[in-house]
């Protein structure tokens, strides 16, 4: 069950410049930054608010680290802008399987590692009204929909 | 001060079909729907979660009601997808003025009426790294940053 907007992923050519734009314009600060070699991105997470499911909503600023990454190719086609949106769930495996059963293409066979140790997968934008859609289970949040697990 | 991701605005050709996609795929229900004649859109708000500032985060699904609306022109250029992102604030007037003073173009001289009686304005995407960015003060939330107003 998807219980929050986890983040909005924004692709940019220059991460440091974009981080500075969000800080100077809105006062948003970097909560976390990392390089995800598998995804081919350098990223900064700006925490915007906490959410009623015990999680939080972020802006995720993404700069490609190599020319063959999907974000680099996307930037070549589209220029800077919103790259994807992400919904948070306590059960990315179960939700991805249920959504696949409804005929939506899920891009990974098994969830991969996302920001801050989360487990993530993506849905094909052509099956989602043009929106590249990510599902995220935050690290430590697995199964937190089950009240007996607390 | 921007205190939440208020919504993600998604442009579509067929609102009913898109509402049904979000319901059938994720279980998201329509919280509110309306026509905004000034913006030239028919829209549905899907409430995803509540936020730590006392507001909420929504998906806003937008279908143009006339060919000369900005959303219709955007769809012609881009096809369906994420049209804009919106941050919530208790003071859209003050925040818009402060952001204009930093050199970011604000598209309206005065905030206009948005979803559910909110007051909104937009920032020029070319000044925001390709992201059309909306600022929103929810109806009844004006000045709620001031603890003395409660």
Q: What is the pLDDT, as a whole number, of residue A89?
A: 98
A85: chain B residues, CB-CB within 8 Å? 8, 82
Phi and psi angles of residue A143, each rounded to the nearest 5 degrees, phi first: 75, 10
Contacting residues for A17 by C-beta, under 8 A, at least 6 apart? none
The full 3-state SS of chain A, as one line of letters, equals: CEEEEEEEEEECCCHHHHHHHHHHHHCCCEEEEEEECCCCEEEEEEEEEEECCCCEEEEEEEEECCCCCHHHHHHHHHCCEEEEEEEEECCHHHHHHHHHHCCCCECCCCCEECHHHCEEEEECHHHCCCCCEEEEECCCCCCCCCHHHC
- pLDDT at B150 > cutoff 80: no
Q: What is the pLDDT, as a whole number, of residue B145?
A: 52
- Judge contact between B71 and B122, C-beta under 8 A: no
Q: Which of B39, B63, B83, B84 is catalytic?
A: B84
Give the A:B interface size as CB pairs under 8 Å: 105
Q: Which CA distances in Å does B20 have to A92, B30, B46?
A: 22, 10, 11
pLDDT tens digits, A100-141: 999 999 999 999 999 999 999 999 999 999 999 999 999 988
| CATH code: domain of residue B111 | 3.10.180.10
Kindly determine whether residue A8 and residue B85, on different chains, have CB atoms separated by under 8 Å: yes
B28: chain A residues, CB-CB within 8 Å? 2
pLDDT tens digits, A14-49: 999 999 999 999 999 999 999 999 899 999 999 999
3-state secondary structure of B27: coil
The number of distinct structural domains making up chain A is 1
- Judge contact between B110 and B30, C-beta under 8 A: no
Q: How confident is the model at residue B143 (pLDDT cuts 50, 70, 90)?
A: confident
Q: What is the pLDDT, as a whole number, of residue A143?
A: 76
Q: What is the pLDDT, as a whole number, of residue A134?
A: 98
Q: What is the pLDDT, as a whole number, of residue B147?
A: 43
State mean pLDDT over B15-20.
98
Owning domain of residue B82: 2-149
Active site residue A43: yes
Kindly determine whether residue B129 and residue A85, on different chains, have CB atoms separated by under 8 Å: no
Question: Which of B124, B131, B135 is the mutation pick for testing A, counting most A CBs within 10 A?
Answer: B131
Please report the ipTM that was assigned to this predicted complex.
Answer: 0.94
- pLDDT at A150 > cutoff 80: no
- Judge contact between B145 and B91, C-beta under 8 A: yes
């Amino acid at each position: 069950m998807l219980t929050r907007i986890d983040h909005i992923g924004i692709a940019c050519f220059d991460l440091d410049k974009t981080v500075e734009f969000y800080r100077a314009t809105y006062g948003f600060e970097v909560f976390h930054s990392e390089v995800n070699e598998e995804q081919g991105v350098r990223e900064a997470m700006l925490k915007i608010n906490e959410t009623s499911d015990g999680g939080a909503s972020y802006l995720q600023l993404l700069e490609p680290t190599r020319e063959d990454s999907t974000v680099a190719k996307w930037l070549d086609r589209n220029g800077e802008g919103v790259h994807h949106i992400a919904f948070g769930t306590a059960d990315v495996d179960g939700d991805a399987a249920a959504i696949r059963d409804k005929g939506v293409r899920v891009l990974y066979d098994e969830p991969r590692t996302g920001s801050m140790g989360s487990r993530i997968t993506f849905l094909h934008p052509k099956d989602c009204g043009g929106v590249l859609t990510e599902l995220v289970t935050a690290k430590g949040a697995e199964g937190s929909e089950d009240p007996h697990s607390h």
